[in-house]
Amino acid sequence: MTATASSPLLSGALLIGGERITEASGGTYRHVYPGTGVPNAAIPMAGHGEIDRAIDSAWEAHREWMSYPVDRRRDLLFALADVVRDHFAELAELNVHDYGVPIAMAGNSVLTERFLRYYAGYADKTHGASTPVAGAFDVNIVEREPYGVVGVIAPWNGPLVVAGAAVAPALAAGNAVILKPSELASLAPLRFGELCLEAGLPPGLVNVLPAGAEGGDALVRHPRVGKIHFTGGQATAQKVLQAASHNVTPVTAELGGKSAYLVFADADLDMAAVIAAHQGPITQSGQSCACASRILVQASVYAGFVEKLVAAVQAAKIGDPLRPDVMLGPVITEAAAERILGVIDQAVSEKAGDLVTGGRRLGGELASGYFIEPTIFTNVDNRSTLAQTETFGPVASVIPFGDEAEAVRIANDSRYGLNAFVATSDLERAHRVARRLEAGSVWVNRHSDIEPQGPYGGYKQSGFGRTGGVEGLYEFLQVKNIRIGMS
């Protein structure tokens, strides 16, 4: 399956109404493998015509889907979970080819399976109620109904996670889905769409359309799309919201973060350092909205913790993402590498903090890829650009604090509010601090590990709406009130 400079390109496609389409009106994107800088796939890009066709087929599939008994829809979603499980290895390798995530961390289709099983269980459950009203004998019924066709815009850094967190509840709620992956990572989402067919879902129920800005805009503006779920950056979110306003289409947005990890003196510092290293610059080379890129450490243990953190970061093996022992791979593109190195250079020139490890692009056998050393700055000013702007790369800032109140103040001094992390052995403090942190999710003495049972989403400029839990299901249902006069 591996594509090299001398081998044929991997074949991308659109999936519309069960048909694999290899030529589209949006042109062809030449995908480059981040590990080598060599093109590895040709990706057809959807334009207006393909968007229209996909929405037509999705509405037809939605009507068929809703004609099935609820237990049949439930069982088909369980069957899809089984099929995804049977293709874990294939999907993981496609993730590597898509965005260079190390194979050791590429198995996020496990999450896809978990979300499918969780939401399959909701497909045949009650989502309405009968409520009392003023009329003594009137009947008032509250129902939740699907939107019909929804658009799911997935980011390049984990499209299969979005396939689980957004596509699964959308299907369980009764919708058909137009899944628009980034052109930077469309191979694994395309295969997921094909697996939907193999599991027996109606053709068109999950259409997969890689597209750039033009195709994405056409999807969001389309009058027959009832809801948009968007995962990505703030700048693109603003464009999505503006386009959605054309038809007043509701949007769920899961955006970026500049999450703080609060390390108190009573914490298990060895464990906290390992978690901070992986939650910060190592996992996906820091290219995750869930990253803890601000590490706040109590002053009394600051120096010792920094030593442990640097050791943990330097122990992570960097290299070919297809090697099972590699923990840190490349960043997504040459442009991303240049941007991240620019952030590092700016932080050094502005004296935002002390650069203690990393900061360089790797050469040698990795020179053709987009590899950047995991980078740690200490004694960082939380008001600096480095501490306030999402870097989306393997860069973390370590900031000292004196007491609990100062730690919470620094953590909350951000326009973002997606995640927060707390390391402490004091359970009372854990509860107290967690409730004071302005973040949609707080993780105590552990890394982030999204599960379908827990609602996930942001505060402030990290977005609105939730994935996971019954809250995630309700994002794809609209409320109808029915009152029947009985007097």
For 52-113, the three-class secondary structure string (H helix, E strand, C coil) is HHHHHHHHHHHHHHHHCCHHHHHHHHHHHHHHHHHCHHHHHHHHHHHHCCCHHHCCCHHHHH
400: exposed, middle or buried (C-beta count within 10 Å: 0-12, 13-18, 19+)?
buried
Helix spans in 163-209 (H): 168-172, 187-198
Residue 153 sits in a domain whose CATH number is 3.40.605.10
- Which pair of tokens denotes residue 3? 């594509």
Which is nearest to 170 in space by CA: 80, 237, 90, 47? 80
5: exposed, middle or buried (C-beta count within 10 Å: 0-12, 13-18, 19+)?
exposed
Question: Quick one: 140 and 249 in the same domain?
Answer: yes
Beginning with the edge strand found earlier in the chain, give each strand of the sheet holding 395-401 in spatial order.
354-357, 375-378, 395-401, 294-298, 260-263, 419-423, 441-444
Question: Quick one: 210 and 326 in the same domain?
Answer: no
Q: How confident is the model at residue 18 (pLDDT cuts 50, 70, 90)?
A: very high
SS3 category, 40: strand
CA–CA dist 69, 71 (Å, integer): 5
In this prediction, residue 109 carries a pLDDT of 86
Which is nearest to 356 in space by CA: 336, 332, 378, 330? 378
- 76 CB-side CA count, 13 A: 22
Are the C-beta atoms of 447 and 441 separated by less than 8 Å? no
Question: Quick one: 391 and 296 in the same domain?
Answer: yes
- Which pair of tokens denotes residue 241? 């919201």
SS3 category, 31: strand
CA–CA dist 386, 351 (Å, integer): 10
Question: Quick one: 233 and 344 in the same domain?
Answer: no
* Residue 381 covered by a domain: yes
In this prediction, residue 87 carries a pLDDT of 98
Interval 446-464 mean pLDDT = 95
* Residue 1 covered by a domain: no
Question: Quick one: 386 and 473 in the same domain?
Answer: no
* Residue 456 covered by a domain: no
* Residue 78 covered by a domain: yes
Total Cβ atoms within 10 A of residue 125: 11
In this prediction, residue 5 carries a pLDDT of 38
SS3 category, 336: helix
CA–CA dist 358, 364 (Å, integer): 16
In this prediction, residue 107 carries a pLDDT of 85
Q: Is the pLDDT of residue 3 over 70?
A: no
166: exposed, middle or buried (C-beta count within 10 Å: 0-12, 13-18, 19+)?
buried
Total Cβ atoms within 10 A of residue 138: 13
Q: Name the one residue in this structure whose structure tokens are 């390798």.
A: 93
Q: Number of folded domains in the chain? A: 2
Which is nearest to 289 in space by CA: 393, 160, 169? 393
Interval 48-74 mean pLDDT = 98
* Residue 268 covered by a domain: yes
CA–CA dist 12, 43 (Å, integer): 5
Question: Quick one: 206 and 284 in the same domain?
Answer: no
Between CA 62 and CA 209, with CA 457 as vertex, the angle to 5 degrees is 40
Q: Name the one residue in this structure whose structure tokens are 């552990």.
A: 446
Least confident interval from 129-133, 267-271, 322-326: 129-133
% pLDDT > 90, the chain: 93
Interval 353-365 mean pLDDT = 97
Question: Quick one: 66 and 129 in the same domain?
Answer: yes
> What value does the mean pLDDT of the chain take?
96
In this prediction, residue 487 carries a pLDDT of 72
Question: Quick one: 387 and 316 in the same domain?
Answer: yes
* Residue 121 covered by a domain: yes
Are the C-beta atoms of 206 and 177 separated by less than 8 Å? yes
Q: Is the pLDDT of residue 4 over 50?
A: no
% pLDDT > 70, the chain: 98
Question: Per residue in 381-402, pLDDT tens?
Answer: 999 999 999 999 999 999 999 9
Could you tell me the residue range of the domain that residue 216 belongs to?
10-255+462-482
Q: Name the one residue in this structure whose structure tokens are 């008032």.
A: 140
Interval 345-372 mean pLDDT = 98
Q: How confident is the model at residue 132 (pLDDT cuts 50, 70, 90)?
A: confident
Are the C-beta atoms of 464 and 457 separated by less than 8 Å? yes
- In DSSP terms, 294 is beta-bridged to 260, 397
In this prediction, residue 7 carries a pLDDT of 55
Question: Per residue in 326-354, pLDDT tens?
Answer: 999 999 999 999 999 999 999 999 999 99
Q: How confident is the model at residue 108 (pLDDT cuts 50, 70, 90)?
A: confident
DSSP state letter for 281: I
CA–CA dist 398, 375 (Å, integer): 11
Question: Quick one: 234 and 341 in the same domain?
Answer: no
CA–CA dist 340, 334 (Å, integer): 10
CA–CA dist 268, 47 (Å, integer): 53
Question: Quick one: 194 and 312 in the same domain?
Answer: no
Residue 339 sits in a domain whose CATH number is 3.40.309.10
Question: Quick one: 335 and 266 in the same domain?
Answer: yes
Question: Quick one: 200 and 280 in the same domain?
Answer: no
* Residue 457 covered by a domain: no
* Residue 129 covered by a domain: yes
Q: Phi and psi for 255 in degrees, rounded to 5?
A: -115, -155
- Which pair of tokens denotes residue 277? 């290293």
Are the C-beta atoms of 414 and 385 separated by less than 8 Å? no
Question: Per residue in 137-189, pLDDT tens?
Answer: 889 999 999 999 999 999 999 999 999 999 999 999 999 999 999 999 999 99
Interval 22-33 mean pLDDT = 97
Are the C-beta atoms of 57 and 64 separated by less than 8 Å? no
Residues labelled catalytic: 254
